């Protein structure tokens, strides 16, 4: 026969509790995320015509369908 385990061996479980993140570690990631979001919003919403930073229509054509999907007019 097999040896029976006592229930006390399984009753003490270690519970992991989340540690709070210091605000100093979150600020650089928040600034990076905000900068990336604003850059993406510019390229999808305003990179065309008179406000264009990049010459040509390559960026406009690359984000053209996304522009319409998000409701930005472009023509």
Q: What is the pLDDT of residues 24-57, one digit of tens each?
A: 999 999 999 999 999 988 877 777 766 777 777 7
In a domain, residue 38? The reply is no
Domain of residue 71, residue span: 44-75
Q: Report the phi/psi class of residue 70: left, alpha or beta, with left for phi > 0 and alpha for psi in -120 to 50.
A: alpha
Q: What is the mean pLDDT of the chain?
A: 79
Q: What does the alpha-carbon distance between residue 73 and residue 75 come to, in Å, rounded to a whole number?
A: 6
Nearest Cα neighbor of 72 from 36, 39, 48 is 48
In a domain, residue 23? The reply is no
Q: Are 72 and 44 in contact (CB under 8 A)?
A: yes
**Residues sharing a CB contact under 8 Å with residue 43, sequence separation 6 or more, in sequence order:** 59, 63
In a domain, residue 5? The reply is no
In a domain, residue 37? The reply is no
In a domain, residue 67? The reply is yes
As for how many domains the chain has, the answer is 1
In a domain, residue 24? The reply is no
pLDDT confidence of 2, banded at 50, 70, 90? low
């Amino acid at each position: 026969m097999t040896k029976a385990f006592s229930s006390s061996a399984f009753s003490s479980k270690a519970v992991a509790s989340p540690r709070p993140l210091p605000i100093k570690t979150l600020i650089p990631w928040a600034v990076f995320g905000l900068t990336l979001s604003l850059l993406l919003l510019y390229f999808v919403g305003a990179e065309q015509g008179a406000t264009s930073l990049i010459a040509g229509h390559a960026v406009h054509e690359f984000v053209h369908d996304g522009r319409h999907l998000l409701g930005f007019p472009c023509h």
